[in-house]
Amino acid sequence: MKFRTHNTILLIALFFLLSCTEEKESSEYYIEIPVAKVQQAKTSDFISDFKAVKLEFTDNSMLHSVRKIIRHNNLLYILDTFGAKCVLVYDMSGKFIRKIGSYGRGPGQFTLPQDFLIDKNTNEIEIIANRKISYFSLEGEYLRQLNLGFSGINFRKIVKEYFIAIIGPEDYKVVCTDENGKIKKRFLPTNNYYESGVAFNCFMPQKSDELLFRPRDRDTIYSVSSSSAVPHTIVDFGDYKLRLNEFLKLDRSQKAKYYKGGANEDQCIINNYLENSHHIQVVYNMSGLYYYYIQNKFTGNFVHFKKNDLNDDIIGERDSWGLTGADDEYFYYVIEPYRFKSTKELRSFFEKFTDDEEYIQEMIHETSNPIILFAKYRV
């Protein structure tokens, strides 16, 4: 009997090991983050080139927060979910152009816009909110809407199919629909303890027929196509990995302590994952502190630092910025000027990319809206 029990245990252990190995080998990237080995870094160690765009501040262009940025035809399209509750358009010098959509419950209006995209085939802007997708021209004219039978927080479109990250009591994290919103396929089933489990911005564009999806509180990023969802990147924190089964059983207040660092002293929670053609960037939280890991996809070289210890020799005030998005050329940082301790530090930042004294003075005295920093990496 002991012999059979021993064999059973060995078989279970072997099955678990093989399952983990298969998942590791089936993923395109496997990243082992050396949590205990944090480097002393300067911003210029990993940013090789950058440009900054100060967004114009007017009565019509006030921003509360930046949820998402899309660069298209030399214009910046910026979603402000909680303040303006619409998409605001600026040129690449920061001049305000127009708003798209407005607050309300009528056609072309939203109470809480969650995400948007630009369909390059139709030259239309699509905004998802309030169980519907609203369509606008690039000039901001309202066109029509598509009603959905569920609530979506993020979405992407490939040709005539939508991929929508859903929230609420649904049994799946992602659904694929046709152009009329009819569900064709469901991906990534939930479990008994799963709760609103999508990341704040969980979809990332990848190849033309493929998307990357990051479930909240998970260490695996999935590649989603119209036929499947398979591991794309596995982030391995080693001994500092989040004990997921324990975490999922916690109530909301207990989970909040993890996010704020009051209960995850030895566990890492991914806060953001971004990827372009050259680099992967993972931002994670441990003990209430934020860590950044940036890896070159071709050489494997990386930089790994704690944000609080960063020698910020480019922006000058490390508490003033956060990572927001990426495209194949740049990673996007949002800088909040009001967080600078003095105008001297703010001036020092502007002097890094211009010697126009009149422009610097204007920027220093007009600091209510964020600055968007477009950064290229050298890692």
Contact 102, 86 (CB under 8 A): yes
**Alpha carbons 207 and 165: distance in angstroms, whole number:** 18
pLDDT at residue number 343: 81
SS (H, E, C) 213-242: EEECCCCEEEEECCCCEEEEEEEECHHHEC
Percentage of the chain beyond pLDDT 90 is: 50
Contact 307, 292 (CB under 8 A): yes
The number of domains in the chain is 1
User: Which backbone phi and psi does 10 adopt, to 5 degrees?
Assistant: -65, -40
- Say if residue 9's pLDDT is above 50: no
pLDDT at residue number 224: 87
- Say if residue 259's pLDDT is above 80: no
* Domain-embedded: residue 168: no
- Say if residue 308's pLDDT is above 60: yes
The residue assigned the tokens 């053609």 is 277
**In the numeric block, which tokens belong to residue 110?**
């939203």
Contact 51, 300 (CB under 8 A): no
Find the length of the chain.
Answer: 379
* Domain-embedded: residue 309: yes
- Say if residue 287's pLDDT is above 50: yes
Q: What is the rounded average pLDDT of the residues 76-80?
A: 96
Q: What is the mean pLDDT of the chain?
A: 84
**Alpha carbons 53 and 201: distance in angstroms, whole number:** 22
Q: What is the rounded average pLDDT of the residues 86-112?
A: 95
* Domain-embedded: residue 31: yes
- Expressed as residue numbers, the domain containing 295 is 27-56+241-379
Name which residue leads in pLDDT, 49 or 191.
49
pLDDT, tens digit, 9 for 90 and up, residues 224-253? 888 888 999 999 999 999 988 888 788 878
Q: What is the rounded average pLDDT of the residues 34-44?
A: 94
- Say if residue 279's pLDDT is above 90: yes
* Domain-embedded: residue 324: yes
SS (H, E, C) the chain: CHHHHHHHHHHHHHHHHHHHHHHHHHCCEEEECCCCCCCCCEHHHHEEEEEEEECCCCCCCCCCCCCEEEEECCEEEEEECCCCCEEEEEECCCCEEEEECEECCCCCEECCCCEEEEECCCCEEEEEECCEEEEEECCCCEEEEEECCCEEEEEEEECCEEEEEEECCCCEEEEEECCCCCEEEEEEECCCCCCCCEEEEEEEECCCCCEEEEECCCCEEEEECCCCEEEEEEEECHHHECCHHHHHCCCHHHHHHHHHCCCCCCCEEEEEEEECCCEEEEEEEECCEEEEEEEECCCCCEEEEEHHHCECCCCCCHHHEEEEEECCCCEEEEECHHHCCCHHHHHHHHCCCCCCHHHHHHHHHCCCCCEEEEEEECC
What's the pTM? 0.87
User: Which backbone phi and psi does 3 adopt, to 5 degrees?
Assistant: -60, -45
Contact 41, 307 (CB under 8 A): no
User: Which backbone phi and psi does 138 adopt, to 5 degrees?
Assistant: -65, -20
Q: What b/e string do you get for 250-264 counting C-beta neighbours within 10 Å, with b at 16 or more?
A: eeeeebeebeeeebb
* Domain-embedded: residue 120: no
- Say if residue 179's pLDDT is above 50: yes
* Domain-embedded: residue 336: yes
- Say if residue 71's pLDDT is above 90: yes
pLDDT level of residue 206 (50, 70, 90 thresholds): low
pLDDT at residue number 118: 95
- Say if residue 348's pLDDT is above 70: yes
User: Which backbone phi and psi does 255 adopt, to 5 degrees?
Assistant: -65, -35
- Say if residue 334's pLDDT is above 90: yes
* Domain-embedded: residue 77: no
- Say if residue 362's pLDDT is above 50: yes
* Domain-embedded: residue 236: no
